[in-house]
Amino acid sequence: MKKLLVADYDNTFYTDEEQLYKNIEDIKKFQEEGNIFVISTSRSWESIKKEIDEYKIPFDYLCCNTGGTIFDNKGDSLFIGNIADSVINKVENILAKLNSKNISITRYGTYKEYEERVDKILGYKIKSNKEEIENLKEQLENILDKDFQIILKNEKEYSKLFLNYKLNTKERGIEKLIKILPDTEYKIITVGDDDVDFNMLKKYDGYRMNNSSKLLTENINKTVDSIAELLKIS
């Protein structure tokens, strides 16, 4: 049975340059044996591609934007989970009334400021004071259906609100990719280090890095120090 390795990038595949180069050599051998390597990241295509080019990282597929976009190793887009224009118009009508203009749009490929209206929007990040963000959250909940995820994070000096599709997650990205791949059965291996990786690791009985977030440390039992170690034991 072929293996499908899905690895987070930051603090997982890349921990430091010395380990990165060892991971790259081991992944090349992994692929030569007919297996498939996927990088799954919250980064955009533009962001992760810079490092792939710099370090010449071999990969078969990229799941970017936390499962919101999927690319093959030629850079061709296989999936874009963008928000419908009708929803975008409703959201932007609300955002236009905010005092804060610290609004970023996550889109296919890269990040753009709110004033630069773009197509294929995957999500929003809004930063403001706690009162305005909590009010925004209430307004968005009134206009959006259950397919959307609204996350609020309070910092010391400000609050953040993230708006995304619930379907754009790392574990859903794997589901989408499996449907795209040739009709072959795969042993799926997953590894990550942060909260955003949690559901992916739970669903596929994955591994966490030893230096992982509290959520993973308390709930994911299987651990590894590196991709190289993971390939030896899986």
CATH topology of domain 2-80+168-233: Rossmann fold (3.40.50)
Determine the pLDDT at residue 119: 62
Q: What is the DSSP string of 20-64?
A: HHHHHHHHHHHHHTT-EEEEE-SS-HHHHHHHHHHHT---SEEEE
Determine the pLDDT at residue 153: 83
Task: Give the strand order in the sheet containing 148-154.
Answer: 111-113, 103-107, 121-128, 159-165, 148-154
Q: Is the pLDDT of residue 216 over 60?
A: yes
Domain range summary for the chain, segments of one domain joined by +: 2-80+168-233, 85-165
Q: Is the pLDDT of residue 118 over 60?
A: no
CA angle 5, 11, 14 (to 5 degrees): 70
Determine the pLDDT at residue 117: 46
Q: Is the pLDDT of residue 82 over 60?
A: yes
Determine the pLDDT at residue 182: 82
Determine the pLDDT at residue 12: 98
Closest CA to 230 of 194, 198, 187, 195: 187
The reported pTM is 0.84
Determine the pLDDT at residue 230: 97
* Backbone phi and psi for residue 107, each to the nearest 5 degrees, phi listed first: -130, 170
Q: Which residue has the tokens 């630069």?
A: 116
Q: Is the pLDDT of residue 114 over 70?
A: no
Please write the tens of the pLDDT for every residue from 145-172. Answer: 989 989 888 888 899 998 988 889 999 9
pLDDT (average), residues 17-26: 96
